[in-house]
Every structure is written in C-alpha cells, then in structure tokens.
C-alpha cells in the first residue's frame, strides 16, 4: 500500500492583481503547508475504486458512495480509471491513466479530515497526493514534468499542492518559485462551519489592484501582505469576520488572516501553548480547529 499525505494548503498572503480574459485572475500568493491534513492510500486491486472515510467523508458524496464502490467507478474507456469522475481524486486518476495506461487498477481510499470548500486546498491536496501515489506505483519520478502538466487542468492550486513546498505562486497560482520556509512555527486553522463558493468570492472582488507582494523573508512578506478575497468572503459569510477577530486578538499571534477564498482562517503563533489556548477559544464556539505547525 502507498500512503501519501495531503496537507492543508495555506495562503499566507493572496494578492489579486487583475481579471483575465480566460475567466481566471492574475494572482500573487505565498503558499505554505501545514504538517497535517488528509491522507490518500492506494493499493492494488482488480478494478479501480474510490472509498472515502473520515469525519468529512459525507460532504463528498452520498452514504452509499462513501461506504462502497459505486457503479460509476466502472471505466468508461480504455485508459481511464473512472467513468464519471465527480471529484478531483477521480479526475487526477483519469489524467494519470491517460498518460500512463499500463498502470494496473488501484483501490484508492481518501481519509478526509479537512473541511470541504474551505480555502485550504483540501480537494487540490487530495488530487496532488493521488498523482504522487500513482507516480510512485508506476515508477515515475516526482519531478517528471508530465505530472505538472496533469495537475494544471485540475485546478489552480493543484500544482502548488503537488510541489508541496513553501513558494510564491503567480499567474493563476500555478507558476511557482520555491522560497525558504519556516517549518515548525505553531499554526492554528479555524473554520466556522460555513462553505463559500470560490467563484462567488472572486465575482465579489472589487477589481482594485492594491499592489504586489513585497520583498523579504517569508514572515516579512506575509506580514506586509493581505488577502484581497477576505472582504468579499465576509460579505457572503459574515461569520468569517468573527473568526478573524478572535485570531487577531489571541495572545501570541504573530499573523492571522483568512486563507484562500475562505472560510478557513489561520494564525501563526509564538508558542504551542498560545496556539492551543486560541484553539480552545474557537472550539468553545463550536468551530472546527486544527492545531498544527508549518511544514
């Protein structure tokens, strides 16, 4: 069995520069990753299948689809794993099998611990972990450019999650430049239990270019940065503002901000004790929390 971690993706800063004619937006973002998240497990099987377990399994399909292999998992054509892919793991498997059709069938299990549609790249990280796992099985090098070519059509965050390293993303977020990270910094993720549509948040952006990322080390750049989607997301889900306020006021917080298009917010802390105290405050409000650290 191959086990691949699918860690939460954090946008320490997210600057939206302009709308593009293709419907995407030009971005400048600081990608970082948590030590924790989802897990993808892949094992040899007689036919391709996907099983979803974990606390957020139900958000990705009906109970029948979560508990057992569905008829939709029968291959439609030679060279495709799944007939009707309706999540990014299935799409990633299909992309891989089109390029590497000799890979034998695999049973894929997603252990889903990150909330869905929450701005921390859960689906993108799952797809990237699937590509990495299948590449290991097929003997494909992790840096093979064909993997990146597969990742790009799956979503703007999938290439960053495939790389899995602290980096600056430009273009739609898929053009990556690795920078020095700060592994070990205590990190807290908080989601108030609301899902916001990425498309709706981008539509609500006011179109104002507020400038580029600044130079400096990771923390200097993050502190000088912003998330241009936070305001639009708060309009759609005002509860995000309450999370932001709690984290900003937490003792020991170095930096707090919404990640991606929301609704998950994060804070970096001076100590584990400061992080855990803030997690307790958020939990008492009934919010999902993940105390972790930067990878």
**Boundaries of every domain in the chain:** 2-170, 186-293
* Residue 235 vs residues 1, 86, 125, 232, 263: alpha-carbon distances, Å: 45, 29, 27, 5, 11
154, 89 in Cβ contact below 8 A?
no
pTM: 0.92
What phi and psi values does residue 170 have, to the nearest 5 degrees? Answer: -130, -175
User: Residue 171, annotated ligand binder?
Assistant: no
Q: pLDDT tens, 163-197?
A: 999 999 999 888 999 999 999 999 999 999 998 99
Q: No. of H helices and E strands in the chain?
A: 10, 10
The residues, ordered by sequence, that sit 6+ positions from 102 with a Cβ below 8 Å of its Cβ are 138
CATH topology of domain 186-293: Alpha-Beta Plaits (3.30.70)
* Measured distance CA(176)–CA(64) in Å, rounded: 39
> Catalytic: 157?
yes
Give CATH for domain 2-170: 3.30.230.10
Burial code (b: 16+ CB inside 10 Å, e: under 16) for 53-77 equals: ebebbebbeeeebbeebbeebeeee
3-class state of residue 46 by DSSP:
coil
Q: Taking Cα atoms as reference points, which of 119, 193, 183 lies closest to residue 157?
A: 119
> Half-sphere exposure of residue 52, counting CA atoms within 13 Å on the CB side?
24
Q: pLDDT tens, 2-19?
A: 999 999 999 999 999 998
User: Residue 125, annotated ligand binder?
Assistant: yes
127, 155 in Cβ contact below 8 A?
yes
3-class state of residue 281 by DSSP:
helix
Same fold, 2-170 and 186-293: no
Dmax over CA atoms of the chain, in Å, equals 57
Q: Which of 36, 157, 228, 274 is catalytic?
A: 157
The residues, ordered by sequence, that sit 6+ positions from 16 with a Cβ below 8 Å of its Cβ are 25, 26, 27, 202, 205, 209, 228, 229
In 3-state terms the chain splits into helix, strand, coil percentages (rounded to 5) of 35, 30, 40
- Give the orientation angle of helix 272-284 with respect to helix 239-249, to 10 degrees: 150
User: Residue 117, annotated ligand binder?
Assistant: yes
Structure confidence at residue 104 (pLDDT): 95
User: Residue 138, annotated ligand binder?
Assistant: no
Q: Which of 9, 112, 228, 274 is catalytic?
A: 9
Instruction: Find how far residue 91's CA is from the centre of its chain.
Output: 16
3-class state of residue 112 by DSSP:
coil
User: Residue 118, annotated ligand binder?
Assistant: yes
* Measured distance CA(32)–CA(80) in Å, rounded: 32
> Catalytic: 9?
yes
Rg (CA), the chain: 19
User: Residue 167, annotated ligand binder?
Assistant: no
* Residue 180 vs residues 128, 183, 186, 218: alpha-carbon distances, Å: 21, 9, 17, 7
User: Residue 58, annotated ligand binder?
Assistant: no
User: Which of the residues in the chain have pLDDT under 70?
Assistant: 61-78
Burial grade of 156 (CB within 10 A; 0-12, 13-18, 19 or more) = buried
User: Residue 216, annotated ligand binder?
Assistant: no
């Amino acid at each position: 069995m191959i086990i691949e971690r699918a860690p939460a993706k954090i946008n320490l800063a997210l600057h939206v520069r302009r709308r593009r004619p293709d419907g995407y937006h030009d971005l400048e973002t600081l990608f970082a990753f948590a030590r924790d998240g989802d897990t993808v497990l892949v094992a040899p099987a007689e036919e391709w299948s996907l099983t979803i377990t974990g606390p957020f399994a139900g958000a990705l399909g009906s109970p029948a689809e979560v508990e057992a292999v569905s008829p939709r998992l029968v291959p439609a054509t030679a060279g495709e794993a799944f007939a009707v892919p309706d999540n990014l793991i299935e799409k990633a498997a299909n992309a891989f099998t089109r390029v590497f059709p000799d890979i034998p069938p695999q049973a894929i299990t997603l252990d889903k611990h990150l909330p869905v549609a929450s701005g921390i790249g859960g689906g993108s990280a799952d797809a990237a972990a699937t590509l990495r796992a299948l590449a290991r099985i097929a003997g494909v090098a992790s840096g093979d450019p064909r993997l990146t070519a597969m990742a790009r059509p799956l979503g703007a965050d999938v290439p960053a999650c495939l790389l899995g390293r602290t980096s600056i993303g430009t273009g739609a977020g898929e053009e990556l430049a690795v920078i020095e990270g700060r592994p070990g910094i205590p990190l807290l993720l908080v989601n108030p239990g609301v899902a916001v549509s990425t498309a709706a948040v981008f539509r609500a952006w006011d179109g104002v270019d507020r400038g580029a990322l600044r130079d400096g080390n990771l923390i200097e750049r993050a502190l000088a940065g912003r998330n241009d989607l936070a305001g639009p997301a708060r309009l759609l889900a005002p509860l995000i503002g309450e999370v932001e306020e709690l984290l900003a006021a937490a003792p020991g917080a170095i930096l707090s901000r919404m990640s991606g298009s929301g609704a998950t917010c994060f804070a970096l802390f001076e100590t584990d004790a400061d992080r855990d105290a803030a997690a307790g405050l958020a939990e008492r409000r009934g919010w999902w929390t993940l105390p972790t650290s930067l990878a």
